[in-house]
């Protein structure tokens, strides 16, 4: 796995582990300890401690609810909590350093909240695929990557000043095929404008919910 594309996955796992650890330490563990101590005390004489046993039942019921809420919270955070811009910036810097390309990244920060985790993952893979294709085949020196939100869509635009190609002739090539598959999985569409000697412009539209 490329280093840049794996950074966000590690970040998510670390954050999830931290959240789980903090919640277990601060809330669930003390409650379980209290319930156990109270239960041990009641077991010394069950008939005399019906009130205490009822309290144990209430504590355990509260814990069940808390664990359920924790599960939902972690699931929600895992779906949202990593910054796409940071990962894209790292990816861009790696290509700039490794390939000597001049790359400009313009990013709409609203997308951090509007995009779900799986959408971010696909966008990173798409940009990575585009940069690899450009560095290998386009003989370009400049790349402009723009990612913006509007009208219920996330729009990714990539433009290079390379030698261009015939999109119809190369449409079944591995790089373009991979991008098409990812865009289709997200319910979006892609437009490729390129001619020999005139560079390439790729525009991808993905549906998002701007009211969330």
Q: Based on the domain organization, do 38 and 114 belong to the same domain?
A: no
Q: How high does pLDDT run on average in the chain?
A: 80
Q: What per-residue confidence (pLDDT) applies to 89? A: 92
Please, which residues bridge with residue 102 across strands? Answer: 142
Higher pLDDT, 103 or 27: 103
Rounded to 5 degrees, φ, ψ at 203 are -125, 125
Count of domains for the chain: 2
The model's pTM: 0.64
Q: What are the helix (H) ranges across the chain? A: 3-23, 29-43, 50-80, 84-99, 111-114, 117-133, 174-185
- Whether 149 and 120 have beta carbons less than 8 Å apart is answered as no
Select from 80, 111, 129 the last residue of a domain: 80
Q: Based on the domain organization, do 50 and 123 belong to the same domain?
A: no
pLDDT tens per residue across span 55-106:
877 777 777 777 767 666 655 555 555 678 888 998 898 888 888 889 999 9
pLDDT tens per residue across span 104-146:
999 999 999 899 888 988 899 899 889 988 988 899 999 999 9
Q: Based on the domain organization, do 99 and 184 belong to the same domain?
A: yes
Residue 212 lies in a domain: no
Show the domain range for 8. 3-80
SS3 49: coil
Select from 62, 80, 98 the last residue of a domain: 80
Instruction: Determine how β-strand 142-150 pairs with β-strand 102-107.
Output: parallel
């Amino acid at each position: 796995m490329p280093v840049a594309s794996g950074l966000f996955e590690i970040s998510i796992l670390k954050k999830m582990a931290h959240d789980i650890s903090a919640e277990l330490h601060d809330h669930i563990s003390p409650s379980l300890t209290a319930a156990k101590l109270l239960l041990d005390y009641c077991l010394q004489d069950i008939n005399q401690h019906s009130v205490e046993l009822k309290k144990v039942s209430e504590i355990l019921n509260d814990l069940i609810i808390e664990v359920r809420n924790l599960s939902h919270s972690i699931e929600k955070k895992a779906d949202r909590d990593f910054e796409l811009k940071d990962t894209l910036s790292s990816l861009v810097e790696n290509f700039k350093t490794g390939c000597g390309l001049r790359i400009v990244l313009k990013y709409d920060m609203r997308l951090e909240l509007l995009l779900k985790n799986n959408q971010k993952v696909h966008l990173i893979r798409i940009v990575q695929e585009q940069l690899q294709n450009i560095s290998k085949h386009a003989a370009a020196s400049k790349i402009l990557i723009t990612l913006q939100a509007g009208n219920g869509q996330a729009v990714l635009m990539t433009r290079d000043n390379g030698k261009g190609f015939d999109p119809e002739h190369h449409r079944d090539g591995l790089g373009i095929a991979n991008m098409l598959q990812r865009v289709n999985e997200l319910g979006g569409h892609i437009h490729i404008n390129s001619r020999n000697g005139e560079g390439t412009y790729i525009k991808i539209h993905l549906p998002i919910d701007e009211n969330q």
